[in-house]
Structure formats: C-alpha cells, structure tokens
Amino acid sequence: MAPPLTITSRQNPRIVAARRLSERKQRQQQGRFLVEGVKLLEMALRAGAKPRDAFVCHEQLAPVAAPLLEQLQTAGAELLLVSPLVMRALAERDAAEGLIVTFDLWETRLDDLRLDGSDLALVLDRLQDPGNLGTLIRTADAVGAAAVALIEPCVDPFDDKVVRGTMGSLFNLPPVRSGDVDGLFAALRGRGLRIVAADAHQGADWGEGLWQGGVALVLGNEARGLSPDVVPHIDAWARLPIPGRAESLNVAVAGGVLMYTWLRHVSA
C-alpha cells in the first residue's frame, strides 16, 4: 500500500476549509471547530468529544503528542499528513506541537443539566470577550460548578481563544446557550437554585449569607453590566469591596473571587 500523501499546499481545499474555522459563521456551517495543544486534545478525548480531521506534521510532532495519534484514529479521526508550511498556516500558536484536530460542535440543552439544591451554576449575561469567557469556564470547572449558562448574544464558546483560555475545561463543563432569559431563570429556580448577581455598588459584601444551598451566580456584560431583562430575575446581590481607587473589577476576576467564596463556604 502506498504511503499517504502529504498535503504541502495551503490552498488545498481541506486546509482552506480548516483555516476558515477561525470564523464563527464557518464553524456553524461546517459543524466543527479547531483544537490544538496536547493537554486540550487529551481532555477532549477523555470527555468523549468527536474528532473529525487530525492534521499531523511529523517533522514538528512533539513526543508527547505521538501517543494521541492512535487514540484519535480509534475515536474516528482521519489522519492527514501536512508539511511544516501547512502546519504553520493552521496553527494559532507560534510553538505548534505538530498536531491540530477538528472536533464536532455540540449543543448542550437545559434539560441535559443535572442540578440539585446544592450546586453552583454560572450564568453569563451576553459576554463579548473571549478571554473572559475562557477564564470563567476554567474557573467554574476548577471550583466544581455544575453548569455554565450563556445568555445570547454571547461570544462563541468554540472561538479558538475561548477554547485555549478554558485549558480543556470546555470539554468538562460544556456551556448551555440560551436567548430565552425567562425560560433560563425559571429552569434554574425550578432546580432549587437562588439567583445571585454580582454588582459593584449594592448587596452583601462577599455575598455573605447568600451561598447556602444551590446558587446561580450571574455576571454581567463587560461594558454594560446586567441587561434590563435579567435584573428582574435576581433574588439577591453580592458585592466585592473596592477599598482602592479602581472603579471596578474585570468580570473574570470578580467571577473567580465569588466562585471561590462560594467554594470556601460549601467546603467549611
């Protein structure tokens, strides 16, 4: 059997299609997204994510990446050999490890969530910054949150910057996306969760007294805060003190502090 051909042109149709996955519209049309980085790929496979194409450059393949090739094939991926030039065109990072994989998109529904009266759910109101979203999903995973819900329109969780920012937590804690604000909060409250929102100017400092039982922690948009259609659903407010001269906190920082405050209370 002849060895598989190596793709050497960046104009190859499969390479062109893969490179266009940097666009949200293309990810939706093609039904897939790109993942690079051994750690992320390992977590994706452990979580049961479905790989499609695995682009492999043997000249650049890191030793830690080589064992993944058999796992990817077993999971159904097609291995496609590419030249270093093509790999550089595909890779977002300067130090590519010689392996980039496309995975099927997936949709997590509210009905898929397994929540009870002791869980933490993170609700993000129309966030637009991929770095913030990636960090918040990663932190929610770290503290053991049960769910992340995104109120649309929101930055795409399959954006490459979000995927990298989650460091694989996207596969452990796949977010629910919803434009039905009333339905989302009704579902969370119906699962026994108190709706607590972060605010710079009102509420209990550190959310004191608000973390008992199940909580849905709501964080607002980076520029506008909470949207008018979200505010009526809030049961209580948590405030982080700012004794310094800064006007406010970055949403990912505030969310991280409050999530760990929740963890401290439930672990006590």
Mean pLDDT within 248-256 = 94
CA 43, CA 53: separation in Å to the nearest integer?
17
Reported as a single tens digit per residue, the pLDDT across 183-222 is 999 999 999 999 999 998 889 999 999 999 999 999 999 9
pLDDT exceeding 90 applies to what percent of the chain? Answer: 81
**What pLDDT sits at residue 97?**
86
CA 144, CA 184: separation in Å to the nearest integer?
21
Place of tokens 């405030």: 239
Query: pLDDT tier at 244 (50, 70, 90 boundaries)?
Result: very high
Kindly report the average pLDDT of the chain as a whole number.
93
**What pLDDT sits at residue 2?**
45
CA 249, CA 199: separation in Å to the nearest integer?
10
CA 170, CA 11: separation in Å to the nearest integer?
31
What 3-state class would DSSP assign to 120? strand
Asked whether the predicted pLDDT for residue 101 surpasses 90, the reply is yes
User: CATH assignment of 110-267?
Assistant: 3.40.1280.10
Reported as a single tens digit per residue, the pLDDT across 109-138 is 888 877 887 899 999 999 999 999 999 999
**What pLDDT sits at residue 43?**
93
**Is it true that the peptide bond before 84 is cis, omega within 30 degrees of 0?**
no
**What pLDDT sits at residue 28?**
96
| Cβ atoms < 10 Å from Cβ of 155 | 20
CA 8, CA 15: separation in Å to the nearest integer?
10
Asked whether the predicted pLDDT for residue 1 surpasses 60, the reply is no
Mean pLDDT within 64-88 = 94
Which of the two residues, 248 and 163, has the higher pLDDT score?
163
What's the CATH number of domain 13-104, 3.20.20.70, 1.10.1040.50, 3.30.1330.30, 1.10.1040.10?
3.30.1330.30
Amino acid at 48: G
Asked whether the predicted pLDDT for residue 71 surpasses 50, the reply is yes
Q: Domain boundaries in the chain?
A: 13-104, 110-267
**What pLDDT sits at residue 147?**
95
**What pLDDT sits at residue 41?**
94
Reported as a single tens digit per residue, the pLDDT across 12-70 is 999 999 999 999 999 999 999 999 989 999 999 999 999 999 999 999 998 988 899 99
Edge-first strand order for the sheet with 147-151 is 176-178, 147-151, 120-125, 214-219, 193-198, 236-239, 204-205
Q: 113 and 176 in contact (C-beta within 8 Å)?
A: yes
pLDDT exceeding 70 applies to what percent of the chain? Answer: 97
